[in-house]
Amino acid sequence: MKARIFLLGLVFLLCFAPVNEVSAKTKNTKVYYRDKVIVLMYHHIDAVESGATISPARFGTHMKLLHERGYNVISMDQFYDFMLKGGDVPNNAVVITFDDGYDSYRTYGVKLMDKYNMVGTHFIIGQSSDLHNVKTAHLTWDDMRDLKEKGHNFYNHTYNMHNYAPLDKSGNKTGPLLTNRIYIKEKGRVETQKEYVERITDDLATMEMRLKEELNNEHGIIAFPYGAYNATAKQVLKDLGVSLFFTIKPGINKAGSDEVYRLNAGTPKMTANKFVELLKKYHD
């Protein structure tokens, strides 16, 4: 009789005990792709969406979908080893990146990633974090140090070249500072190739130095402003010890390349359904 009562009690517990929601949602072991990595790109998080700014709710939905659908968010260190050293990555691997250095990464992004034990990488505009001379709050170096201890990483988005400049006297033609010989008003001419190389070398070297001074970074990694780069800029960066280059070209990443594809998920148009479809494009 006691044995029967025990068995009935056990059946009751199995049938009616509450299911652990997190565990139930992490049983998806479907393999979408192997030995490849999707890299997502975001910029700013704010309640008012516009351009490259998305709401906390939208970003949170993206993170929830990654978690529930069985994607595996990996760190930048693991991605670096995969791309350049042939290291292993889990199936359905994803890297989360942000550009520009906005403090919303800390106030919104990190908290939402924390819910699912995820980490991200942020590409910083150095001068904005040094001087805080911009309207929208940027991360401080102290913030970055604290977050780095929790697994987040911070790398180069140039020191102060995230802008366009005039390319001729009229000023009607402009281009990204990193990839163009710009017009020097004081000299009444376009800078020489030598002046161009010296200018970008000074900026990029300054940023690499600041990252090492403040964060003790071991790897040289950059995300090009506006996704713009050329052979000269890339060679300057290589000479400075930078070895991994993040673009804004869409695609999925395979080991052996030093240029990284990224998918732009940080737009108000990226609904839950569109986010899922964006990822599905790169399934095997």
Residue type, 60: G
Q: Establish if 22 belongs to a structural domain.
A: no
Please provide the DSSP assignment of 113-145 as one string: HHTTT---EEEE-HHHHHH--SSS-B--HHHHH
pLDDT tens, per residue, the chain with 284 residues? 444 444 334 433 333 333 333 333 444 679 999 999 999 999 999 999 999 999 999 999 999 999 999 999 999 999 999 999 999 999 999 999 999 999 999 999 999 999 999 999 999 999 999 999 889 999 999 999 999 999 999 999 999 999 999 999 999 999 999 999 999 999 999 999 999 999 999 999 999 999 999 999 999 999 999 999 999 999 999 999 999 999 999 999 999 999 999 999 999 999 999 999 999 999 99
pTM, 2 dp: 0.89
Tallying the residues shown for the chain, one arrives at: 284
Q: Establish if 54 belongs to a structural domain.
A: yes
Q: Establish if 17 belongs to a structural domain.
A: no
Q: Which domain holds residue 174?
A: 30-280
Are the CB atoms for 116 and 110 separated by under 8 Å?
no
Residue type, 19: V
Q: Establish if 12 belongs to a structural domain.
A: no
Q: Establish if 123 belongs to a structural domain.
A: yes
Q: Establish if 108 belongs to a structural domain.
A: yes
Our count of domains for the chain comes to 1
Q: Establish if 40 belongs to a structural domain.
A: yes
Residue indicated by tokens 């080991």: 255
CATH label of the domain that carries residue 74: 3.20.20.370
Q: Establish if 13 belongs to a structural domain.
A: no
Are the CB atoms for 265 and 62 separated by under 8 Å?
yes
Which residues does 155 contact at the CB level (< 8 Å), separation at least 6?
A: 76, 121, 122, 123, 124, 211, 217, 219, 220, 221, 222, 223
